[in-house]
Homo-oligomer: A and B are copies of this chain.
Amino acid sequence: MIAAREQLTRLARGTATIIPREELLAKLEERRPLRVKLGVDPTAPDIHLGHTVALTKLRQFQDLGHQAVLIIGDFTAMVGDPSGRSATRPQLDAAAVEAAAATYQEQVFKILDRDRTEVYRNGEWLAPMRFADVIRLGAQSTVARMLERDDFATRYRDGAPIGIHEFLYPLMQAHDSVQIRADVELGGTDQTFNVLLGRQLQKEAGQAPQVAVILPLLEGIDGTAKMSKSLGNYIGVAEPPAEIFGKIMSISDTLMLRYYELLTAEDLTALRRALDAGGMHPMDAKKRLGELLVTRFHGAPAALEARRAFEERFQQRVLDSAALDEIQVTPREGSIWLPGLLHDAKLVKSNSEARRLLKQRAVRIDGATVESEDYPCTQTGQLVLEVGKRRAIRVRVTG
């Protein structure tokens, strides 16, 4: 096994917080496979990249020799996790939960190592519990503690109803940790309260409390709000390879680095260095990210095909662009200043319009969205510059 301190450094990558960090180090120093819990709520049949942040971290634990314990929250799904919600969620029926759970399991093993994963449904121990057991569970937390949670506090203050059963949700999830004797629990920032409640219940049950490894919420492809189906800014893991690849090509350079950090095991330092030094073009880095993610969900051949098809479409566009107007440009210090180029190409009337369009992500070069005013370019050749859907021009880059 890798040294505990080195493990901690690797595991801390991309986390929002680890509570408490020194306890995780102490557990790693025990040099045994830790039981790392991840609870998933199988209510979203379409899993998107946002859901895979924790799975990716769990895989990282597995690769360091630890044991994943996946809890399919079939029972908790009947309540509906109120975390981060502004209204009571509808209670799902057993059949809908069952169907969603099956889909979910199919997807997770595209990321997790099946041999180092125990899978449970929390209905196994929650469903047989009787009223008296629920009372004993309820007695382990207080109304005030529940109302400390931002989501509940906001709803209470705003007069939005909170069902009594919603207060049972965090307790169920915390009880899962006692049941499987978790050493570590992974969760998004909106799960912090629930994960810490697990610590408390474990202590009351005489167990060593789990460490909370809290992960940030992944931004959607618009780079602003958190990735969610309802906002339409998501990449579903079941989407066709070309869709996933194309969406990755459309994200900003900043977001690309974020996705590398949270969704891959790539060496970030080396990547940043290569990008800064101009040794790697951001478009190539996006292509590589697209390939990594499509490989994960559809396999390597599909990823290669997605990349080939994307590039072919681009080449086709270059061929088609024979009919387009052409403009020449010479890069300065290895980059092209886009507002100037757009203005010279008569695609905008002013630098401020150019900046606005870049900000709105309406400018694409060779099919990939660009946001920065400076476009790295060290080779001569031709590019296709597009603004929105209708205006396009061919750019001949000269030395």
Residues of A within 8 A of B (CB): 75, 78-79, 91, 126-144, 146-147, 152, 156, 159, 161-168, 171-172
Give min CB distance, A126 to chain B, whole Å. 5
* A133 / chain B contacts, CB cutoff of 8 Å: 131
Number of copies: 2
Given contacts A139-B165, A143-B156, A143-B161, 8 further A-B contacts (CB under 8 A): A78-B132, A129-B130, A135-B165, A137-B165, A139-B163, A143-B162, A143-B164, A167-B167
Closest to A91 in B: B139
Contact across chains for A130 and B130 when beta carbons are under 8 A apart: yes
Contact across chains for A146 and B164 when beta carbons are under 8 A apart: yes
Partner of A156, one of B130, B138, B144, B166: B144
Closest to A88 in B: B139
* A142 / chain B contacts, CB cutoff of 8 Å: 161-164
Contact across chains for A131 and B161 when beta carbons are under 8 A apart: no
Contact across chains for A130 and B132 when beta carbons are under 8 A apart: no
**Bound: A135/B138 CA distance, A:** 12
Give min CB distance, A81 to chain B, whole Å. 13
Closest to A167 in B: B164
Contact across chains for B126 and A141 when beta carbons are under 8 A apart: no
Partner of A164, one of B127, B156, B168: B168
Interface pairs (14), CB distance under 8 Å: A79-B135, A91-B139, A129-B130, A129-B131, A130-B131, A134-B168, A135-B168, A138-B168, A141-B164, A142-B164, A143-B143, A143-B156, A144-B156, A144-B159
* A143 / chain B contacts, CB cutoff of 8 Å: 143, 146-147, 152, 156, 161-164, 166-167
Contact across chains for B139 and A161 when beta carbons are under 8 A apart: no
Contact across chains for B138 and A131 when beta carbons are under 8 A apart: no
